[in-house]
Amino acid sequence: MVDDVHEKRPFISKLPMEKEDLLLFVNADVEPKTKYVDELTERVRSFSSRQPSAVVGIGGGSVMDLAKAVSLMLTNPGSSADYQGWDLVKHPAVYHVGLPTLAGTGAEVSRTAILTGPVRKLGINSDYTPFDQIILDPDLLEGAPADQRFYTAMDSYIHGAEALRGKFINEYSRAYAEKSMELCREVFLGELNEHVADEKLMIASYFGGLSIAYSQVGVCHALSYGLSYVLGARHGVGNCVIFSHLEEYYPVEVREFRTMVAKHRIPLPREMTKGLDDHQMSEMIRVALSLDPLWQNALGPDWKKIMTPEKARELYLRL
């Protein structure tokens, strides 16, 4: 499964395709939906009566998550929407391999495949979700538009910030988060050539993913899920917009983030929540506040007393 943005790129002709291999170009114009996962799974099933020996995903976080989800759905009955949650998957997935072409989400290493379903945006979180194998090749990052490259890279910077400031932090997660953030600083505050920078970004993303694998994300990600669910905002850019308003929770990191935004002249959308009706706003708050582990990590076991629906609304209105 290859992101269709790469359809004309030279590496496509170098893929070692064999007879009976299926090359699926998949679309990431919008973030993955459960319906799309179910359709792709059906296409793989109808291609051959045999189970594939492997699923390979080549693309950004969206396509890697699609590949993870399809590999799970090939061995588990029903719709992918039935598995959005924690540890609902019963059977091991088909062997699956990931190759990122954008760096930052950590999807190459995480135990989740994030999907938007009929009721919520929530990952298929399970021990069977992580890739069996990954290939990190910085050359694949070539050609990403500067804004998209920045938004996705900041996902790993924010993973680091939320892990380090969270209650679930431990020495393992701290070590990876610190290194991940340091690499992001070298890339976006230093003066590196793009090739060296891409290699650093790839490891920043991987380490950011390793860090949250044993800790958790926080305020920015919880709000970001609500924003994506209601407005379809993409993860990277949505995170960046939210994070820039979260000085209250991540003071030093937000200031440093703003310096990186300014240095690279990255546009951040404004007034995203202006004009939302009451129903949309309550849906956004509902989705955000349903992410209990994220709030526990950010604010502790009594988080409901702190992050009330009114407070969440106030934060959303800042965007």
Q: Hey, which residues between 170 and 189 contact ligand NAD (CB under 6 A)?
A: none
Pairing state of beta strands 121-125 and 85-86? parallel
Residues 231-250 that bind ligand NAD (CB under 6 A): 234-236
Q: Rounded distance, CA 319 to CA 314, Å?
A: 9
CB nearer Fe ion, residue 3 or residue 155: 155
Beta carbon nearer to ligand NAD, 172 or 277: 172
Tokens at 240, concatenated: 């960046």
236 contact choice in ligand NAD, Fe ion, none (CB below 5 to 8 Å, kind-dependent): ligand NAD
DSSP conformation class of 318: T
Asked if residues 163 and 215 have their Cβ atoms less than 8 Å apart, the reply is yes
**Angle between helical axes of 171-189 and 146-164 (0-180°, round to 10):** 150
32 binds ligand NAD (CB under 6 A): yes
Please tell me the number of Cα atoms within 13 Å of 32 on its side-chain side.
30
The nearest distance, CB 221 to Fe ion, in angstroms, is: 6
State both tokens at 27: 């679309």
Q: What letter represents residue 163's amino acid? A: A
Is 230 a binding residue for ligand NAD by CB under 6 A? The answer is no
DSSP 33: B
Spatial contact of 146 and 199, defined as CB atoms under 8 Å apart: no
Per CB under 6 A, does 107 bind ligand NAD? yes
Q: Which two tokens stand for residue 141?
A: 């990052």
Stretch that binds ligand NAD, among 16-24, 148-156, 254-262, 304-312 (CB under 6 A): 148-156
3 neighbors 62 (Cβ within 8 angstroms):
yes
Options 1, 2, 26, 28; binder of ligand NAD; rule CB under 6 A: 28
* Binding at 148: pick from Fe ion, ligand NAD, none (beta carbon under 5-8 Å per type): ligand NAD
User: Tokens at residue 31, please?
Assistant: 């973030």
Site string for Fe ion, 154-193 (x = CB under 5 A): -x--------------------------------------
Contact 205, 167 (CB under 8 A): no
Where does this chain touch ligand NAD (CB under 6 A) — which range of 49-57, 228-236, 283-291, 306-314?
Answer: 228-236
Q: Does 5 bind ligand NAD (CB under 6 A)?
A: yes
SS3 of residue 17 by DSSP: coil
Nearest distance from residue 239's CB to ligand NAD, in Å?
A: 9
Interaction site with ligand NAD (CB under 6 A): 3, 5, 28-29, 31-32, 59-63, 65, 101-102, 104-107, 110, 112-114, 141, 143-144, 148, 152, 155, 234-236
Chain residues binding Fe ion by CB under 5 A are 155
